[in-house]
Structure 1
Amino acid sequence: MTAVSRETLLRLDMYRGLVEKWNPKINLVAASTLPDFQSRHLDDSLQLVDIARPSGGTWLDLGSGGGLPGIVVAIMTADRPLSIILVESDRRKSAFLRNVVRKLSLPNVLVISDRIMSIPPQKADHISARALAPLPQLLEMVHMHLKPTGTAYLMKGRTWREESAWTKDDWQFDLEAVPSRTDPEAAILKVTGVSHA
């Protein structure tokens, strides 16, 4: 991971504290993963920032849930001209995300409390999704919201190869699988050029 400022580390720590505080009421992450929050959640999301290296534009995080990876991306890029949009249909989780944005002073972040396919096309430069849906459904969302020159970063578990294979009948896309640093069987799928087959 690239070197980060003290302010960034403080924000990451505050974010972790907010997740721990709200989790019993809302179930933002599996309770069993809280003791390993750094390795299971933060490090997993931090590698995405290292891979994408966004310098500006719009970053759309689909199904943000408790803010992984969207809030982590926002913290790590707080000093860059990057607008971050978190889409989460669960109103309690949206309320949590807005609370985090306020407490951590992340002015470039907008929380949209709605369904992903119900909002207008966002024409995003970057899209992220973590543990959200099977690849065919994700590509439908990416196709709707990613600008033609944009890149989607889809965090997938051990079934990513099978999902990629049976998605090719319906979709055309370029795919680069970057091995996950936190799970040897998982990958971050860098997807570009999405169109219907």
Structure 2
Amino acid sequence: MNASTKNTHLVVMGVSGTGKTTVAQALAREFNLEFAEGDDLHPQANVDKMSAGIPLNDHDREPWLHTIAQWMTSEAQQGQNTVVSCSALKKQYRDILRSAAGRVVFVHLAGEKEIIAERMKHRQGHFMPVSLLDSQYETLEALTDDELGFVVDIAGTKNQVIADAVTGARTYLTAESGVAS
């Protein structure tokens, strides 16, 4: 099997504050996947814009999404399966991510805006202000039938959310894709 069909990439997606990084890191540990923090791949101009409370537009996001897809492809070419945290709010953004070599599976962390806003208020060291949460919900498009993936409700405890994500991911990470289950 070549890298384009062998490797699986999990994209832990959702609005800011849903726990994408925490869940992605847990999936990386559970399944021995290469991990990338999507926020670390943003160009500085995007970080500056969000830090100033200005929502990103499609033009801002496109190069960032291509960078993530290129990272996934590079890892697949080395025979690695991956997990990346990335908001991936619109289908057109996910289409860019799906251009990566390999199979791309979306793990959509979803929940009530009030729960997420409360969690964001207590988060330290992150550039995304709570004030941009509304714009993220306005941008968010649900997974469609032609996209591989599943939804995890973030209303439970951190351990419960991680367990649900692991269970869902396990169905996509089979011996055939090169990942131990």
TM-score normalised per structure 1: 0.34
Higher strand share: 1
TM-score normalised per structure 2: 0.36
Higher helix share: 2
